[in-house]
Amino acid sequence: MVTSRDVAQVAGVSQATVSRVLRDAGPVKAETRTRVLEAAAQIGYQPNALARAMRTRRSGTVGVVVSDLTNPFYPGLIEELSAALGSAGCRMALWTSGGPGQDAALEAIRQGVLDGVLFTGATAKSAALREAMRAGAPAVTLNRAMPGWQCDQVVSDNRVGGQRIARYFAAAGHRRVGYIGGPAAPSTSADREKGFLSGLAATGLSLPDEYRRGGDFTYLRGREAMRELLSLTQPPTAVFCVNDLTALGALDGARSLGRKVPDDVWVVGYDDIAMASWDAFDLTTVRQPTGEMARIAVQLLLSRVAEPATAPRRVTMPAELIVRGSTAHHGGDEAQSAGKPPATRARRPNAPTREPRLARSR
């Protein structure tokens, strides 16, 4: 390995002079400085990163904690984070929480080998986040909110998103609506549910217990819960699923019973993952602007690393309803078409015959 001693030899100066030049510390003649830099470039000297990190107390690495890579929402978000961190010259260290990787993440936070941490799947029970905040580590929660916690937070407006779906159902004349929820702890499922319920209440609709199913954000549970709902004597005519992956399972659950979507039942998801727009699903959903959320989260984290004393900031992005073939189309202002290929559009009926023309839902 090339060392600063080699640089000193080639430049014909002392090692102390090389050190002063490379650390930009102390007086050095311009001519000497040039000679040292040329020598370093000539023999390919790279200052040791660990040694430099020791001096600067920065590792150049940002930790990202995800809860579940098998939910396509997270790989999509991580792609965006990877790009944003790479542009900022940072390395990304990734852990999945829950698995054994969690311990490694906790240790890295304790030992300070990370400059900061981005949490994409935090809950009030997140040991890693609590630990990071106790240790004063720069931390940003992304996607899920942590009300009352003193850290930067970037979320989309899950409550308004849930409300919007309730109003969309009500405006379309649905009277029996169903819901397949998520775990209680994450703010995303809690807020979407609160919004959905308040939206139903505002339009005079209710959600009886038999139309309400618990879930866990997975395809398999969505499939199972939808089969339960569609097996009721009076099944719901529109079902909101707490996330897209659950909704894809719900669509397959309806498919497995020979039920037609949207003719027999409407299905709506949440997130707008890439698959939502595939022909096989053509899913109406609420879009989370993940690219913009990732870029803002990285900006907040890096600015906090630079100025740790800044008061915590919270950024809430708008939620946008994207209407596709898993519900009836309408010309209202509320929903934006997702620009499907014409061949696909043409196959879909514009609305089930039992549905009245949709009014603006807000």
| Residues contributing to the site for a copy of itself (CB under 8 A) | 46, 48-51, 53-54, 59, 61, 69-70, 72, 74-76, 78-79, 82-83, 85-87, 89-96, 99-105, 108, 110-113, 219, 223, 248, 251-253, 255-258, 274, 278-281, 341, 343-344, 347
Q: Which of 132, 107, 136 is nearest to 122 (CA)?
A: 132
Q: Which is nearer to a copy of itself, 248 or 296 (CB)?
A: 248
Query: In angstroms, what is the minimal distance from the CB of 276 to a copy of itself?
Result: 12
Query: In angstroms, what is the minimal distance from the CB of 117 to a copy of itself?
Result: 12
Q: Which is nearer to a copy of itself, 50 or 311 (CB)?
A: 50
Neighbours of 311 (CB within 10 A): 6
Contact 317, 292 (CB under 8 A): yes
Q: Which is nearer to a copy of itself, 26 or 99 (CB)?
A: 99
Contact 276, 115 (CB under 8 A): no
Q: Which is nearer to a copy of itself, 177 or 250 (CB)?
A: 250
**Terminal-to-terminal C-alpha distance of the chain:** 67
Q: Which is nearer to a copy of itself, 309 or 311 (CB)?
A: 309
Exposed, middle or buried: residue 178 (CB in 10 Å: 0-12, 13-18, 19+)? buried
Query: In angstroms, what is the minimal distance from the CB of 87 to a copy of itself?
Result: 5
Query: In angstroms, what is the minimal distance from the CB of 281 to a copy of itself?
Result: 7
Angle at 121 between CA 115 and CA 123, to 5 degrees: 100
Q: Give the number of residues written for the chain.
A: 362
Q: What would the two tokens of residue 130 be?
A: 């609590």
Rounded to 5 degrees, φ, ψ at 149 are -85, 145
Q: Which helix (H) or strand (E) holds 287?
A: strand 285-287
For residue 155, the cross-strand partners are 316
Q: Which is nearer to a copy of itself, 157 or 271 (CB)?
A: 271
Query: In angstroms, what is the minimal distance from the CB of 250 to a copy of itself?
Result: 11
Query: In angstroms, what is the minimal distance from the CB of 287 to a copy of itself?
Result: 16
Q: Would you call the peptide bond into 186 cis, given omega within 30 degrees of 0 as the criterion?
A: no
Query: In angstroms, what is the minimal distance from the CB of 108 to a copy of itself?
Result: 6
Query: In angstroms, what is the minimal distance from the CB of 121 to a copy of itself?
Result: 14
Q: Which is nearer to a copy of itself, 54 or 127 (CB)?
A: 54
Neighbours of 109 (CB within 10 A): 23
Q: Which is nearer to a copy of itself, 14 or 48 (CB)?
A: 48
Region for 26 from its dihedrals, namely left if φ exceeds 0, alpha if ψ lies in -120 to 50, beta otherwise: left
Q: Which is nearer to a copy of itself, 34 or 337 (CB)?
A: 337
Q: Which is nearer to a copy of itself, 108 or 321 (CB)?
A: 108
Q: What would the two tokens of residue 349 be?
A: 């009926």
Q: What would the two tokens of residue 361 be?
A: 């839902």
* Tokens 């996330």, located at residue: 243
Residue 70 neighbours by CB under 8 Å, 6+ apart:
none
Query: In angstroms, what is the minimal distance from the CB of 96 to a copy of itself?
Result: 5
> Strand 320-323 vs strand 266-268: parallel, antiparallel, or unpaired?
unpaired
Sheet holding 336-337, edge to edge: 285-287, 320-323, 336-337
Query: In angstroms, what is the minimal distance from the CB of 193 to a copy of itself?
Result: 25
